[in-house]
Structure 1
Amino acid sequence: MASGDMLFAVQDHVCTITFNRPDRMNAWTTTMEQELREMLARASDDPEVRVIVLTGAGRGFCAGADMSRLTKSANARPEVVEREIKGDLEQRYSYIMAVPKPVIAGINGAVAGVGLCLTLFCDLRYMAAGAKMTTSFARRGLIAEHGSAWMLPRLIGPMNAADILLSGRTVLAEEAERMGLVRVLPAEDFHAQIQARAAELAALCSPRSQRVIKRQLNAAITSGLAEATRLSEDEALLCRGTEDYKEGVAHFVEKRAPRFTGR
């Protein structure tokens, strides 16, 4: 049974998953982590869902780990355990990249720590004007968690990544946009704007194309240009006989809205 800390809703082919602990600025818990994985799997399997949005209730997106957890772990005896070696897209939060549909982070307010890490694995990040973000790790005696030291340099460059990770300083949405980390939207009616953008992606784009493009983007992280080009050429040939390719040509020629099936 869902705890109520996470909400799941579908409208206009857009699934919105909302972190729902507004009284705690949606501070992250193990329950939320488990339910996010379950809800993303549910949205992935639902043929009615074409785009997924992650956002927060109230004033914040996610203020990082719940401080009660941090207090307990600070007093715990350190223990290094052997970990199973998993693939790049099977890590604690990197599995979000493997979701076969576009995942949008709708950062409606303050975001920190693990909350920020979650957004790094989303395909698109929109942030409310004036909202604040921080990695915070260096100011809590922690390290760059959850692969953030790998992701951030690839998203915003080594210098910007080192700046915000080593300092743990607060970054406004507008500076994050200049770094290339987010796109800023007006804070007023932020959720409605995210819904509209996600619904547009769902209505105008081929779900099959988006699935393949996501695979291409993920593969490009660790492949060379030659390998990426071969993959694109192979996938281009496979497009030719699909329903979505035929519809893509037909709706353009007939000057009407598309009716993609994802096949």
Structure 2
Amino acid sequence: MELKALILRAPGINRDADAALACELAGARPERIHVNRLAEGSVRLSDYALLVIPGGFSYGDHLGAGRLLAVDLIHRLGEELERFVADGRPVIGICNGFQVLVKAGLLPGPLRQPPRVTLTNNESGQFECRWVQLEAVSNSRCHFTRAIERPIEVPVAHGEGRIAARDEATLAELEEQGLIALRYVGEGYPANPNGSPYNIAGLCNAQGNVLGLMPHPENAVLPYQHPRWTREPARSEGDGLQIFRNAVRYAASL
């Protein structure tokens, strides 16, 4: 049976087609669904095996990156979304989608607790658009990063991607609890494009079924998307596809 992936659409989201292609290449059947259809009940989140919140500038980021869509999800879909996560179904938020998950309280969790982290302006004070290297953190609980044993290359494109925690103890807790899923490879700027402490590029929840990351794996699924594709040995696929394959494989195991 083919797994269905819900690609969330909302005003300002602009990477939904890219996310849909990534899910399709990974073996799922993507459907791009507007948040209003979920809220009115004409589409049910429970009918899907995977939820993707893509990147973009949801609601124009007028009250801060991802905040309005986060409020929308909590107040219009809160219980349904909580059940989806509690059932262990995979959720991935990319860039603006990561900001949404953090500001909705889904990352790093637990839900309905005071937030431990937020995402704020890049340390450089400017929008960063470049390719970066990521490594999967070996002790992470994250199901999306299983068997990623070498650094992968994907692009970033964000202005507010720096992790800010309440204090140093909170950062240590994230590491000890296995909630840091991905790190930028290399020290300092530009290897770490936003200045996040511990080189954090992505976080997961305690169940490991919710992942948020600032880089864009959905824009690194085809070999010719890589800027050096004509100058290096031929690739069969882009590095980012591994993350979506893992998501589909995990969803199929539930």
Based on CA coordinates, which of the two structures has the bigger radius of gyration? 1
TM-score for both structures, normalised by structure 2: 0.34
Higher relative contact order (CA 8 A, sep 6+): 2
TM-score for both structures, normalised by structure 1: 0.33
Higher share of residues assigned strand: 2
